Amino acid sequence: MSVHNPDIKRVTTHTIQELKNKGEKISALTAYDYSMARVVDAAGVELILVGDSASNVMAGHETTLPITLDQMIYHASSVVRAVKRALVVVDLPFGSYQGNSSEALRSAIRIMKESGAHAVKLEGGLEVKESIVRILSAGVPVMGHLGLTPQSIYKFGTYAVRAKEEAEAQKLMDDARMLEDIGCFSLVLEKIPASLTRQVSQSLHIPTIGIGAGPDADGQILVLHDLLGITKDFKPRFLRRYADLSTIITEAIAHYVDDVKARDFPNENEAY
Ligand code: KIV
């Protein structure tokens, strides 16, 4: 029942732009490992983000801050080996690009060279402009990320909706225009009011990808483990769960344990 567009052979940043131009919504998901990335890619999403949310869902950290560049490259190279069609974008982790554009460039080049990914994403507006310009000048496509930027969680103090106040909404709009002007190919908008997403998406030419940002972004992204119901305790309003894999996996494993205990597994057909 896949609805992916069979005309798209390999998704590029240009494909993503064309989808916006013709008014077709862009589907994006995170992935962090080879096996899941194969499934996600075959199911037809156009963009796979190797998000620094790996810090949460893969490593069990409370925030995205601890994950390292080496760890992101490990996840990204596993994903790249699996993906045949989607555009693979990789998060630059906290501390690998802020405040030093030379280091930002070095980090982006390591990701591209060592993982084989197609683009990088980083969080922030004006504060990281120099880093983005430097990365773009090396020919590396950059995706921006505004609104709730989890690498700044200790500045925000909360994961609540951002840019509800006029001043913050105006800064977000200014940052979005600046990111487009300097050459970002796309922009993630996280947890902002739907009306602001509509305004930003209508005034930019590049596609916006929303998470908790309402229906008017040019595309949507979710964390794979949230969509599949593997992370059970995370229940934000914006999340739609498409499966309850946590229950399915638990039941399957409990069944296996029972079979082992009952000496039912392996049977004679499952032995040599
Ligand atoms: O790291 C991540 O998963 C992300 C998405 C939430 C956009 O940045």
DSSP string covering the chain: -----TT-SS--HHHHHHHHHTTPPEEEEE--SHHHHHHHHHHT-SEEEE-TTHHHHTT--SSSTT--HHHHHHHHHHHHHH-SSSEEEEEPPTTSSTT-HHHHHHHHHHHHHHH--SEEE---SGGGHHHHHHHHHTT--EEEEEES-GGGHHHH-S-SPP--SHHHHHHHHHHHHHHHHHT-SEEEEES--HHHHHHHHHH-SSPEEEESS-TTSSEEEE-HHHHTT-S-S---TT------HHHHHHHHHHHHHHHHHTT-SS-GGG--
Residue 262 belongs to a domain: yes
Regarding whether 81 and 207 lie in a shared domain, the answer is yes
User: CB 252: neighbour CB atoms within 10 A?
Assistant: 11
Among 18, 62, 190, 268, the active-site one is 190
Share of the chain above pLDDT 90, in %: 96
Whether residues 232 and 159 fall in one domain = yes
Residue 249 and residue 227 in one domain? no
Q: Are residues 148 and 264 in the same domain?
A: no
97: in domain: yes
Domain annotation covers residue 2? no
- Tell me: do 131 and 109 sit in the same domain: yes
Q: Is residue 8 part of a domain?
A: no
Q: Are residues 135 and 259 in the same domain?
A: no
pLDDT, one tens digit per residue, over 153-166 is 999 999 999 999 99
Question: Looking at residues 41-64, what average pLDDT do you find?
Answer: 98
pLDDT at residue 201, as a whole number = 98
Kindly report the protein residue whose alpha carbon is nearest to atom 4 of ligand 1. Answer: 51
Which is the closest atom of ligand 1 to the Cα of 51? 1
Identify whether residues 124 and 174 lie together within a single domain.
yes
User: Ligand 1 center to residue 223 CA distance, Å?
Assistant: 7
Are both 252 and 125 inside the same structural domain? no
117 found inside a domain: yes
| The total number of structural domains that make up the chain | 2
CA 267 to ligand 1 center in whole angstroms: 44
Site residues for ligand 1, CB cut-off 6 Å: 30, 49, 51-53, 91, 188, 190, 211, 221, 223
Q: How much is the pTM?
A: 0.96
For residues 248 and 236, membership in a common domain is answered with no
Residues 29, 85, single domain; the answer is: yes
Residue 5 inside a domain? The answer is no
The reply to whether 91 sits in an annotated binding site is: yes
Residue 3 has pLDDT above 60, yes or no: no
Output the CA 37–ligand 1 centroid distance in Å.
15
| Structural domain includes residue 102 | yes
190: CATH: 3.20.20.60
Is 53 one of the annotated binding-site residues?
Answer: yes
Number of C-alpha atoms within 13 angstroms, CB side, residue 272? 0
Q: Is the pLDDT of residue 85 over 80?
A: yes
Kindly state whether residues 181 and 272 are assigned to the same domain.
no
pLDDT of residue 232: 87
Q: Are residues 104 and 203 in the same domain?
A: yes
Q: Which domain holds residue 53?
A: 13-241
- Report the pLDDT value the prediction gives residue 16, as an integer from 0 to 100: 98
Pocket probe for ligand 1: among 33, 55, 153, 190, the residue whose CB has the most ligand atoms within 8 Å is 190
Nearest Cα to Cα of residue 144 among 84, 185, 103: 185
Look at ligand 1, atom 5, and give the residue with the nearest C-alpha: 51
User: 237, 252 in Cβ contact below 8 A?
Assistant: no
Does some domain include residue 1? no
